[in-house]
Amino acid sequence: MMLERNLATVLLCAAIVACSPTNPEWEKVRKLDTPEAYAQFEKQFPASQEAALARSRRAALADEREWRGANRVDTAEAYAAYIAQHPQGVWAARARARQAELIAAAPPVPTPATAEAVEKAAGVRATEEPKPAPDKPPAPEKTPAPEKPPATKPRAAVTLQLGAFSSAERAQKSWREAQGIVASLRNSKPLVVHGSGSNLYRLRVEVESRADGERICAALRKAGASCIEL
């Protein structure tokens, strides 16, 4: 339905343009055929006859580019990011179906100990009578050491997960692609986590602050890659 609506909009705009003089800049934009070119045309000629066609084509190109990015990464997180940006996109149904397949294939998370077992263990420890400590001679008075200046609190590191993959090779490939998108990652060391009982290899990296994490995730998502903060 969405595809038919987009097609009808494109045909209507094309008919309007065909019956009126063509803006010379419009022909240049059509040859470039990029979202950035169409966005610039809309900004320069918002009231032109081709503005609606530029807006429709820009949305279609952005949808297609982000779908290809999610499909290349092929993780549940990547498809979730695509669906959040294009809930009614041309590939939204396929993205939801593939996301459901990946979630179903992931191993179940081990359940924690029950509350009853924890309470029982705590009760056993509580019933044990503590043994009296032997008498100790009074300790000699010590000269207090000079106070040290408070240490500078280190910056809290933030862990980012860049996807979960079926093999370590795919995780390393995705890491190289991420380094090509975000230059600051080229000096970082990735961590590929393969937990017991799991058939997925999770690609993670530590950054210095939450602000760095938000900046890196925004750049990766814009390029169609996956990135979540843990």
pLDDT at position 100, please?
92
Give the integer Cα–Cα distance in Å for 225 and 220. Answer: 5
Over range 98-114, report the average pLDDT: 75
Please report which confidence band the pLDDT of residue 199 belongs to, taking 50, 70 and 90 as the band edges: confident
| Total length of the chain | 230
Instruction: Give pTM, 2 decimals.
Output: 0.37
pLDDT at position 169, please?
93
pLDDT at position 17, please?
46
The two beta strands, 158-165 and 201-207, are antiparallel
Q: Are residues 75 and 168 in the same domain?
A: no
pLDDT at 124 over 50: no
Domain ranges, residue 191: 158-229
pLDDT at 206 over 80: yes
In SS3 terms, 178-211 reads as: HHHHCHHHHHCCCEEECCCCCCCEEEEEEECCHH
Over range 178-202, report the average pLDDT: 86
Q: Are residues 12 and 100 in the same domain?
A: yes
The verdict on residue 95 lying in a domain is yes
Q: In the numeric block, which tokens belong to residue 169?
A: 């090779």
The verdict on residue 202 lying in a domain is yes
pLDDT at position 12, please?
53
Q: Are residues 32 and 93 in the same domain?
A: yes
